[in-house]
Amino acid sequence: MRFGIKGGSIAVLTTAVLATAACSSSGQIGASGAGTSAPGSPAASTGKTAVTPPNTALAPSTSGASSANSTGSTSSSGGTTTGGKSLTTDQISANLLTDKDDPGYTYDASEDGTSVTDTQDVVSSGGGACQTFVDAENGLSTKYGTTAEVDRELTKSAEGHVIEDSVLAMPSPDKALAMVSDLSGSLQSCKKLSVAISGKPGSMELSAIPQLMKHGQAGYLNYLTVGGKTVLLTADLVQVGSAVSVVVLLGPVTNDKTELGQMGSTMGHLSDLQVARLKKAQGLG
């Protein structure tokens, strides 16, 4: 998983999302009316320094088994941190998300990415915590021993949204937990970083989703800027035995609570589907 997007060029995806948003009736999805501007939003485009990303404070839980936040995301109670066999590339592919899991999305399995990340992307700003974040987000094989990885891209072009779905297989549950724990821990102090992405200047503004920060699980918002263009990522990583499930939604920048809620609900639903499949594939229930 390279910055949540590995099946295709992140720069190309960023351009596609922004082009779709520009062709919509409003020209932009969900401009904020609260006076808080995310990077890439109309206020941010004036050259002013972007302020705090959308609030991710807790909201009342919808049930005892799941919890919600202002992004609308729901999830089960953290990861499965013991047991589980290491999956092969074919086994991973058979358990990834498809167009049947969310109507309106399309994908081409022949374009799935199947390579692991073995070269570190060095941050140019942000410090040690941000380097740890990037290493964990990439599932760096030299650090975590990643044995297999498959990345799939599902698109809904009419809305300018992309699902980036990945599963990474590790040699043991301990290694899978280490990857998720490193990412979760780094989000406590890494809020902004700079790093080259697809050969272009890139930056990330990060905000943890508190209700998804559990043992064996990490969720966050990422205002990702590549070559001066900004999009919004919401991500949920869950350890499932010796595997890590990663579901990322990519869309136009928004502070609108309804839009964020829809993105969060979709991400939470899809993450739960994939986690259940990975548990079954590893004989974890």
Q: Encode pLDDT of 37-69 as tens digits.
A: 566 544 343 333 333 444 443 232 222 223 333
**Which CATH class for the 10-21+59-281 domain?**
alpha beta
Answer with the residue of higher pLDDT: 53 or 253.
Answer: 253
Q: Is the dihedral of CA 167, 169, 172, 177 positive or negative?
A: negative
Reported as a pLDDT band with limits 50, 70 and 90, residue 113 is very high
Confidence at residue 239, expressed as pLDDT on a 0 to 100 scale: 96
- Map residue 152 onto helix, strand or coil: strand
pTM for this one?
0.80
Tens-place pLDDT, residues 158-194: 777 899 999 999 999 999 999 999 999 999 999 999 9
Reported as a pLDDT band with limits 50, 70 and 90, residue 81 is low
Q: Tell me, what DSSP letter sits at residue 118? A: -
Q: Is the dihedral of CA 14, 17, 19, 22 positive or negative?
A: negative
Alpha helices per DSSP H over the chain: 10-22, 89-94, 127-138, 141-144, 173-186, 257-281
Tens-place pLDDT, residues 124-146: 999 999 999 999 999 999 999 99
Reported as a pLDDT band with limits 50, 70 and 90, residue 13 is low
